[in-house]
Structure 1
Amino acid sequence: MIRRILAPSLALLLGATLVACGDDPEGDSSSNTSGSGLADLSIEGEVGSNPEVTWDGELQADDVEVEVVTEGDGEEVEAGDSVLSHVWIGNGVTQQMAFSTYDAQTPQLFTVDEEMLSELFIQGLEGQTIGSRVAVAASAETAFGPAGNSQLGIGNKDTVVAVIDLLEQVPDGPEGAEQQAPTWAPSLVGDEEAPTGLDFSGTPKPDGELKSAYLIEGEGDAVEKGQTIVVDYLGQVYGGKKPFDESFSAQPTSFQIGVGAVVKGWDQTLVGAPVGSRVIMAIPPELGYGKQGNEGAGIKGTDTLYFVVDVLAAN
């Protein structure tokens, strides 16, 4: 609900949820000839920069192949961890790039969960260390299911190559010094680590101004315009009995900040916030969903939005 612009989810393109879904892509490009594996693929460039991939003919991989191109010195990624990563996807048969997050500098959030990611990406993340560049190859069926992935131009008999840069491990919650809540702010309901709602008892009526304050002031670097940030959040209209949206009960979310990808109140508040912070904000309608509101979320054009946001990472 926080997003003003809804883009296709990378998880939907790359995750396990597409397994066995959809029709076989037309024009299957596989020739079913024998080819090389990762050992014959050249991958150059520094972690965080667009990989330079040189193909030595058609690449085939029946089983999942994993090669650590550059080994980082950060923490080892375990099952259940969330990692901010760049990813490059190539078709081993056509020897063409199918997808990349590098050019737009929009790293994506991956949670190491077999219900969310296919085996290709699980093996590229789990057991690897932060700061690493890892190459993984597998059949299209292993990566995406029997239909391949028509959205990426990968046929059901093709081979998939992924280059994954593990940039940053996302902590479970905010990290910093607790601050006194302002008098205009509602109190949090539920677990302090994962609030379930906002209590507006005694909270003054909104005055039409954008307000924000730190409940926890993080000790990390200040968020910069254009960065991809990872957050947990909860949103509730003033006087509302329950949230209209939240991520604390599920998984964190990621998006670019300061570029119009989310409501204006978020862009104006979170740019400059130290990573590790928990921010509470009151957003007037013109900096939220405007006069039209958001009918699907039960938000009227006159509603002031209150959010609590944990800024977990930025890259």
Structure 2
Amino acid sequence: MRRRSLMIAVPAGLVTLAGCGDDKSDSSKTSDSASPSAPQPSAAPSPKIVAGPLPAVTAGTKFGEKPTIAKGSGAPSKDIAVKTLITGSGRTVAENDFVQADFVGQIWDTGKVFANSYESKTPLIAQLAQGQIWEGWRFALPGKKVGSRVELSVPPNWGYGPQGNPQAGVKGTDTLVFVVDLKDVFNGKSSAQGKKVPQDDAALPKVGTNTDGGAPSVDVPKTNAPKKLVANYILEGDGEELKADSTALVQYKGVLWDTGKEFDSTYGRKSPTLISLQQVVKGWAQGLTGKKIGSRVLIVVPPALGYGDNPPQGSGIKKDSTMVFTVDILAKM
């Protein structure tokens, strides 16, 4: 479904801050699940997009309302059928963007709902990239605008594939029907947009306050690193606070206190990343819990709350290093 923990780009490949590898997990267990298990990437040519057929939305027809979708009538299209039910006026979605969306997913033949973020009150955040979301979404949603409601039917080869998703009650022959409310979109140019907070402590790093999507500067003072965790607002947003078990979409950059050398950055990869606060180093988990969406946060992680004497091989991080991060909290789920 998503990476388990914060990834660090190093010459030898990817390692994780939590010291564990990438996982794929299955979380579409019930009808109120907002997170799809990762479908298998399709090796087929790009699909054809057609206008229908699509079942009617019989209730909850406004953007943001939980929709009720009729059972499919007749045979579904073998192509991806897409219809914009409500046209938004926000930013345009592109492939590889992260979308934040509420949605209902059900099976064409039976009308059985297998995923419903409205019930869980947890919008999905997913990247429109191969292997990260249903392939049907990856091809149907680019070009749509934030604020739009989109209905689509997705044949098996662009849904869960021939293996289906037994845990969600989806067979490998099932066509899926979705109604998707596009709430927001994020990409490598996304930044926190909170209010500037004074940076008055000369003993702490000074972080840039640009909001243009570029990597903020991080100037580390030539003083001894603090012994305790630092987690200060640079830009304070007005969104919901992160909880200890939150999953958040972030942009970040990490440098070493001793040298100021950058060792990791989502800006370098030109894409934000999803992290679980339960699966990152303690300094991140403690530093981001309670912080608001829309904020930029300075986190200074002492060795005991970072890697200590066991840094990832090939990361360029020495034993007992203090790490400095600037983290933009873009969204949560």
Normalising to structure 1: TM-score of the pair? 0.68
Structure-1 separation of matches of 2:70 and 2:134: 25
More displaced 10-residue stretch of structure 1: 105-114 or 166-175: 105-114
Question: CA, structure 1 residues 150+11, in 2 after alignment: closer, same or farther (shift >3 Å)?
Answer: same
- 8 Å Cα contact 1:185-1:203 kept in structure 2: no
Deviation for aligned residue 1:303: 2.4
Instruction: Give the one of 303, 306, 309 matched to 2:327.
Output: 309
Question: CA, structure 1 residues 131+277, in 2 after alignment: closer, same or farther (shift >3 Å)?
Answer: same
Task: Say what the alpha-carbon RMSD is for the aligned residues.
Answer: 4.3
Structure-1 residue corresponding to 2:30 = none
Task: State whether structure 2 residue 298 is matched by structure 1 residue 275.
Answer: no
Structure-2 separation of matches of 1:41 and 1:72: 16
Describe the superposition over 1:162-183 as per-residue Cα deviations: whole angstroms up to 9, x where unpaired.
Answer: 3323223347222244445442
Amino acid paired to 1:305: M
Describe the superposition over 1:226-265 as per-residue Cα deviations: whole angstroms up to 9, x where unpaired.
Answer: 55432101123333564333211321123455xx243332
Structure-1 residue corresponding to 2:47 = none
Structure-1 separation of matches of 2:274 and 2:65: 20
Structure-2 residue corresponding to 1:30 = none
Structure-1 residue corresponding to 2:137 = 121
- 8 Å Cα contact 1:131-1:166 kept in structure 2: yes
Tell me the secondary structure at the aligned position of residue 269 of structure 1: helix
Deviation for aligned residue 1:76: 4.7
Amino acid paired to 1:84: Q
Structure-2 residue corresponding to 1:152 = 165
Deviation for aligned residue 1:78: 3.5
Structure-2 residue corresponding to 1:165 = 181
Structure-1 residue corresponding to 2:248 = 229
Structure-1 residue corresponding to 2:13 = none
Deviation for aligned residue 1:210: 0.6
Deviation for aligned residue 1:211: 0.8
Structure-1 residue corresponding to 2:10 = none
Structure-1 separation of matches of 2:279 and 2:119: 17
Structure-1 residue corresponding to 2:215 = 195
Structure-2 separation of matches of 1:267 and 1:49: 33
- 8 Å Cα contact 2:64-2:181 kept in structure 1: yes
Give the number of equivalent residue pairs.
Answer: 290
Gaps of 5+ in 2: 7-16, 26-34, 45-51
Gaps of 5+ in 1: 22-35
Q: Among all aligned residue pairs of Structure 1 and Structure 2, give the percentage whose two residues are the same amino acid.
A: 24
Structure-2 separation of matches of 1:235 and 1:197: 11
More displaced 10-residue stretch of structure 1: 234-243 or 277-286: 234-243
- 8 Å Cα contact 2:103-2:117 kept in structure 1: yes
Deviation for aligned residue 1:209: 0.4
Normalising to structure 2: TM-score of the pair? 0.65
Describe the superposition over 1:79-105 as per-residue Cα deviations: whole angstroms up to 9, x where unpaired.
Answer: 365421244444435755555656665
Structure-2 separation of matches of 1:262 and 1:101: 25
Describe the superposition over 1:45-91 as per-residue Cα deviations: whole angstroms up to 9, x where unpaired.
Answer: 8866776555356752222222445x375525343654212444444
**Aligned runs of 1:1-315 on 2, under 5 Å?**
2=6, 4=18, 7-8=23-24, 13-14=38-39, 18-20=41-43, 37-39=53-55, 55-56=71-72, 60-68=76-84, 71=86, 75-79=90-94, 82-92=98-108, 96=112, 106-111=122-127, 120-122=136-138, 124-143=140-159, 148=161, 150=163, 152-153=165-166, 157-170=173-186, 172-181=190-199, 182-186=201-205, 193-195=213-215, 198=218, 200=220, 202-215=221-234, 217-225=235-243, 227-240=246-259, 242-249=261-268, 250-257=270-277, 260-289=278-307, 292-295=310-313, 297-299=315-317, 302-314=320-332
- 8 Å Cα contact 1:289-1:301 kept in structure 2: yes
Deviation for aligned residue 1:137: 0.6
Question: CA, structure 1 residues 188+156, in 2 after alignment: closer, same or farther (shift >3 Å)?
Answer: same
- 8 Å Cα contact 1:223-1:314 kept in structure 2: no
Structure-1 separation of matches of 2:23 and 2:65: 23
More displaced 10-residue stretch of structure 1: 223-232 or 246-255: 223-232
Tell me the secondary structure at the aligned position of residue 18 of structure 1: coil
